[in-house]
Amino acid sequence: MSSDMDGTMLLGVEGIKKTILYGGTAEMPRFITGTKVTFHFRTQLCDDDRTVIDDSKVAGVPMEVVIGNMFKLEIWETLLTSMRIGEVAEFWCDVTVSKTHSPTMQCHSSILPIQTLESRF
C-alpha cells in the first residue's frame, strides 16, 4: 500500500477506501430513508495530476441527496452514510465498484464534507 493510503480504512464494500481528513463534531447520525444530505464534493481522477472532473464549490451550489431515492450514482449513499455531520473524508473507488454501481464511473477520489442532514418523517 502506498504512503498516500496510510490511515485508510475500508468501508466493508470491496473497492472503496476511506480516509477521514476531519472527524466532524457530532455523533454518527441515523440515515433513515428520506433523510436529505447536503454536502460539497470534489471528484478527481486517479492520475498523477489528480485531475478534477467535478467540484460543487466551483459550481457554487452544494449537492443534495435524499437517502433511499435511488440517486443515479448509488455509491454516493454508501459513502455519505459512513460520515458524521461536519466530517471531511476522501474516498477512493476502484473500477470494480464502478462497474457494480455505475457503468460510467471510473477510478476516482472524492472529498465530501457533509454540511447538513434533514430527516423527513
- Domain-wise residue ranges, the chain: 3-118
Backbone dihedral angles phi then psi of residue 75, each to the nearest 5 degrees: -60, -30
pLDDT category at 27 given cuts 50, 70, 90 is confident
At residue 11 the predicted structure's pLDDT band, cuts being 50, 70 and 90, is low
| Cα–Cα distance, 31 to 121 (Å, whole number) | 12
**How many residues are given for the chain?**
121
Is pTM, for the whole model, over 0.75? no
How many of the other CB atoms lie within 10 Å of CB of 52?
11
For residue 85, which amino acid is it? I
Say how far apart CA 47 and CA 54 lie, in whole Å. Answer: 15
Those residues whose C-beta lies under 8 Å from the C-beta of residue 116, and which sit 6 or more positions away, are: 36, 37, 38, 85
Q: 105 falls in which pLDDT band (50, 70, 90)?
A: very low
Q: What is the CATH number of domain 3-118?
A: 3.10.50.40
Label residue 9 by pLDDT band (50, 70, 90). Answer: low
